[in-house]
Amino acid sequence: MNLNLFDQFLVPKLFGMSLLIPAMLLTTLLIYNPQDRWLSNPLTTLQAWLIAKTTKQIMSPVNKPGHKWSLMLISLLTMLILNNLLGLLPYTFTPTTQLSMNMALALPLWLATVLIGLRNKPASSLAHLLPEGTPTPLIPILILIETISLLIRPIALAVRLTANLTAGHLLMHLISTAALNLVTTSTLLAGLTLSILALLMLLEIAVAMIQAYVFTLLLSLYLQENV
């Protein structure tokens, strides 16, 4: 049972080669590519409106020098949303349930924000490690605590995304298995279980988008502290 339950999180392979990168690139096909026309269709207009509103929302806490990151952050958000939603389709694989992949996204971007702060305003960046007015005996302890909290940020980003998606997929798998087993014993309970599964599916769609937004928003807040 445990083996079958967690098999959905194994990276699929073809001829011994990992399909993680092709699965990520597959989501780019879902992005509508506008054609060269005088008048845009409703889908293009809706896509441009969503991108503009989301970019404005994410970059609102960031100072003007940090707005050069807007293209990178909105691209990251789009990739995360599409990859999160990909796993909700039947017979598909969710790349963002892999902690290694999420760490590979979180660590370099977090490190880039820290290095930008150390380059642009080193005194202000280091001052975050020691709150103003700290008693002298507590200075070494607070510096250690603040340093640990700073270093744990990329781990928290990756673990939050992985844990939320993994928990939702496991719950859907358990409820769908229960519904399948109840079909032969109680049709009423099976129908009730399927209704719960449908509601959970809607919840997972919302979680997939919210977690991608939270991941990107936290990166923009880290950027705001260093620009």
CA distances from residue 30 to 24, 69, 78, 82 in whole angstroms, order as listed: 11, 23, 10, 8
pLDDT at site 152:
93
Q: What is the pLDDT of residues 5-63, one digit of tens each?
A: 665 666 666 666 666 667 667 666 666 565 566 556 777 778 788 888 888 888 888 88
Q: Which residues pair with 13 in a beta bridge?
A: 18
Longest dimension (CA), the chain: 71
What's the CA gap between 163 and 169, in Å, rounded? 10
The one-character DSSP state at 11 is: P
- The answer to whether 86 and 204 have CB atoms below 8 angstroms apart is no
The residue among 116, 73, 118 whose CA lies nearest residue 219 is 73
What is the pLDDT at residue 12?
Answer: 63
Question: What's the confidence (pLDDT) of residue 125?
Answer: 78
The Cα 178–Cα 191 span in angstroms is 11
Contact 27, 192 (CB under 8 A): no
Q: What is the pLDDT of residue 168?
A: 87
What pLDDT score was predicted for residue 112? 92
Strands (E), the chain: 13-14, 17-18
What is the H or E stretch that residue 3 is in?
Answer: helix 2-6
Cα-based distances in Å from 100 to 17, 30, 96, 126, 154? 17, 24, 9, 29, 12
Per-position DSSP letters for 94-119, written without gaps between them: -GGG-HHHHHHHHHHHHHHHHHHHHH
The pTM of this model reads 0.81
Q: Report how far residue 165's alpha carbon sits from residue 177's, in angstroms, rounded to the nearest whole number.
A: 18
89: left (phi over 0), alpha (psi -120 to 50) or beta: beta
Instruction: Please count the other Cβ atoms lying within 10 Å of the Cβ belonging to residue 127.
Output: 11
- Pair of tokens at residue 3: 């083996």
Tens of each residue's pLDDT in the chain, 227 residues? 444 666 566 666 666 666 666 766 766 666 656 556 655 677 777 878 888 888 888 888 888 888 888 888 998 998 899 888 887 877 777 888 888 889 999 999 999 999 988 888 888 778 777 777 778 887 888 888 888 988 999 999 999 999 999 888 888 888 888 888 888 888 888 889 889 989 999 999 999 999 999 999 999 989 888 87
